[in-house]
A and B are shown apart, each in its own frame.
Chain A
């Protein structure tokens, strides 16, 4: 469930970029990992400074000792824990937004294919950086992160429920936000830019600024998800962030569910997580009977699933819906000049026919004349 909430958040943010704005982000893992790394690295140090824990000038070197001390103090100090938690998330969001801002420079200039290559390469480099630069999160060894949910109780179940509640609220907010964007004029403009950049520009839409803003917001959201994952797991290391886990799986979710449709993406993330769990459960029955590690089959399974979906249902389970616009009748009301009498009384038959003809298919989306 926690995995679902996090996957949902990240896939919604990818949907904002790739589905609505048409920015193919093949480096999603970079933003998630950035949030996780910053949150994991800073929160512990900050807590150590506030709680006066001796770090011997080498935080990563004495990590086990420091974390034990921090955990015992934090478990009785709920207010401080939450403060650090929120601060960590905020910091992750800032870092994510900054990275997104940097990314937006190539993103608004390059064609999709060049951009895809560049982002993929950048994410790869970022992963190397995380693995190689030890002062931040201890490289591939990783570091522990103080347990900011320890106040929730000694039993592991209680903590899990609290974390889950927190994540559910977060995911709910992000979903609500994404849905608001999708239904707003902004969402329609983004789709217009995606489908025909030239036409959107001709209509006076600032496509460059809009794309940039979407990338920044989406990156900030994914960085926050990364930070939350770090706090939930209680550790962070560079090995966990690979192209497969946080770029490819996320794309699978968006494509299965249906790009540019938030409900579809939510369903996609759910089906993916569900399928993943089932495969996890089932695969051990096969472990003895085949001469290789069953985990490899997971890769094959999801890769072929994605290709099959792309081939036979390119829109995903729930394809993108046309924009919801005002019903015909309302448009006709608005369009009718004030001085003119209501269409039913007017002498012009074509105007009178208008609302009547539309009444039959009012549920279907309509565009103004």
Chain B
């Protein structure tokens, strides 16, 4: 039997991986940290909630695709309606950042209205703050989200890899991220690539959100609270690499659960309050030590150093050994 916190760690890690991939996509295209990103998770979570509680449909078959499209469309609307409009009017980076914060606040308002609507229209009283939905199937005694969320993270990462390297549009998208003006000269529709990136990003977050409703608590501010971890994951991944973000999400999600468990074991249960402190700590360490994230570390060189160290150690040892034997 898998213990509870391993379950937690796996689900958490894959959900954050999904979210971080999306956030990195939006950062790559607009170079603005999207503070409203957490709200797309909430969109997904509410989609699952409504689909399950009102129509009693299976969240995987119905809610997840629906969440993907709702999140994706809202994300595109946000990009076209606010960010691109502001950017074309020459807004500064800080102005764009504060506008995403404004959108996040507006989202909280929209979720509040929606949850009140659920309460008054469908008589769902826990719509503002609900516990995990009891809609999950179970396989070999483990909840379905334990399988589905890592699988979808893997599928999305591999899918993105093939999309970005094997398809023409994907290559064009990479080009428009790396050098927009050069890509434009070559006749690539940069705007279309950006819109598509935002489409995917919103979709990933909402999908992750629709899974998270089966595992975590839901509510109007759940996304705004998750944003800390999502940023931490993206920063750890280097904010410039989709695969880095996936790995960063896995590390943040897993370490948050495992470090908290370890902390409880060592210091006592009071440390569980500061669960969210661990991602922040990792983020601070990342920014101070290697601000460009995991992808910037030259693993080959570290590996090479270690290998050559052991080589020289072996040489030294064999010298000593031969010396001893020669006498």
Contacts and interface: CB of A to CB of B under 8 A. Distances in A.
Size category, A interface? 35 or more
Interface in A226-254: 243-244, 247-248, 251-252
B53 interface: no
Interface string B90-112: 11011101110111011011101
B10 to A, nearest CB: 24
A303 interface: yes
Contacts of B279: 121
B117 interface: yes
B116 A121 contact: no
B106 A293 contact: no
A132 interface: yes
A125 B228 contact: yes
Interface string A268-304: 0000000000000000000000011101111110111
B235 interface: yes
A307 interface: yes
Nearest to B108: A299
B33 A116 contact: yes
A293 B108 CA distance: 13
B98 A251 contact: yes
B32 interface: yes
Interface stretch (B129-137, B184-192, B270-278): B270-278
Contact of B99 (A291, A297, A310): A310
Given A244-B108, A248-B101, A310-B98, A121 B33 contact: no
A317 to B, nearest CB: 15
B227 interface: yes
Contacts of B315: none
A112 B93 contact: yes
B112 A304 contact: no
A118 interface: yes
Contact of A307 (B94, B102, B280): B102
Given A24-B94, A244-B108, A292 B82 contact: no
A315 B30 CA distance: 22
A244 B105 contact: yes
Interface stretch (B146-154, B283-291, B319-327): B283-291
A122 interface: yes
Contacts of A113: 31-33, 93, 97
Interface in A309-357: 310-311, 314
B225 A124 contact: yes
Nearest to A121: B228
A106 B97 contact: no
B167 interface: no
Contact of B273 (A106, A128, A251, A306): A128
A138 B89 CA distance: 47
A118 to B, nearest CB: 6
A129 interface: yes
Contacts of B113: 292-293, 296-297
Interface in B175-216: none
Given A291-B117, A311-B86, A303 B102 contact: yes
B46 interface: no
Interface residues of B, number: 49
B121 interface: yes
Contact of A120 (B35, B90, B273, B277): B35
Contact of B224 (A114, A243, A291, A300): A243
A38 interface: no
A162 to B, nearest CB: 35
B106 A304 contact: yes
B252 to A, nearest CB: 12
Contacts of B121: 291
A116 B274 CA distance: 21
B94 A128 contact: no
B232 A306 contact: no
B85 interface: yes
Contacts of A243: 224
B3 interface: no
A118 B105 contact: no
B288 to A, nearest CB: 8
Given A106-B284, A114-B235, A125-B280, A251 B112 contact: no
Given A116-B33, A117-B235, A124-B225, A293 B102 contact: no
A125 B225 CA distance: 10
Given A112-B94, A292-B117, A296-B112, A122 B273 contact: no
Interface in A21-46: 22, 24, 26
Contacts of A177: none
Contacts of B109: 296-300, 303
A133 interface: yes
B110 A106 contact: no
A110 interface: yes
* A110, A122, A292 — most chain B CB neighbours (10 Å): A292
7 contacts: A117-B33, A118-B283, A132-B274, A297-B109, A299-B112, A303-B105, A310-B99
Given A116-B33, A292-B113, A310-B98, 15 more contacts: A106-B287, A113-B33, A114-B235, A117-B231, A120-B227, A120-B231, A121-B227, A121-B280, A251-B98, A291-B116, A293-B112, A296-B112, A297-B109, A300-B110, A310-B99
